[in-house]
Copies of this chain bind each other. A is one copy, B any other.
Amino acid sequence: MVVVFDPIGVIHTPYKKPADMPVQGALYPESEGHVNVYPRFAEGLKDIEGFSHLILIYYFHRVDNYTLISRPYNDNTPRGIFSIRGPRRPNPIGMTVVRLDKVEDNVLYISGVDMVDGTPLLDIKPYFPDIDAHVAERTGWAQGIKPDERD
């Protein structure tokens, strides 16, 4: 079974190549970007301006292979790919919660971005803290490691 998706827009950020990017956008609220939603999907943006945070789901388009064991950023211990957030995944799907700063027609101005410029956008979801925010008392290997030293 294969699943075929067609991007709904493009994410623009200040990061022209992966080496420029912050590891985790949430730690860099000043990291601003914008989303261009293709005009044929713009009607789906109705009511979105009421949300302070959005979930962006996107395609790691610069990745051309995957590995089941990988090393987190700044850490030499090999980890299973499903216990890290790096891009070289069997299905290279990225997810970041961003702040929505402003909406102008089919353009969303956002902050807290950590994608490379030109990233194809697959979906936008509203962020609901009562279902999306969890205390998560255990974070495995990442316990005690600073967020910008993992991925």
Contacts and interface: CB of A to CB of B under 8 A. Distances in A.
A133 B10 CA distance: 24
A44 B26 contact: no
Given A140-B50, A141-B47, A126 B85 contact: yes
A47 B69 CA distance: 10
A78 to B, nearest CB: 8
A56 to B, nearest CB: 10
Interface string A92-107: 0101010000000000
Contacts of A6: 1-3, 90-91
A43 interface: yes
A80 B8 CA distance: 14
A49 B44 CA distance: 38
User: Interface size for chain A: under 10, 10 to 19, 20 to 34, or 35 or more residues?
Assistant: 35 or more
B69 A43 contact: yes
Residue in A25, A46, A84 with the greatest tally of chain B CB atoms within 10 Å:
A46
A21 to B, nearest CB: 14
A141 B1 contact: no
Nearest to A43: B68
16 contacts: A1-B6, A3-B7, A3-B122, A6-B91, A26-B134, A44-B69, A44-B82, A45-B82, A47-B80, A48-B80, A50-B139, A52-B139, A53-B136, A90-B123, A126-B139, A128-B142
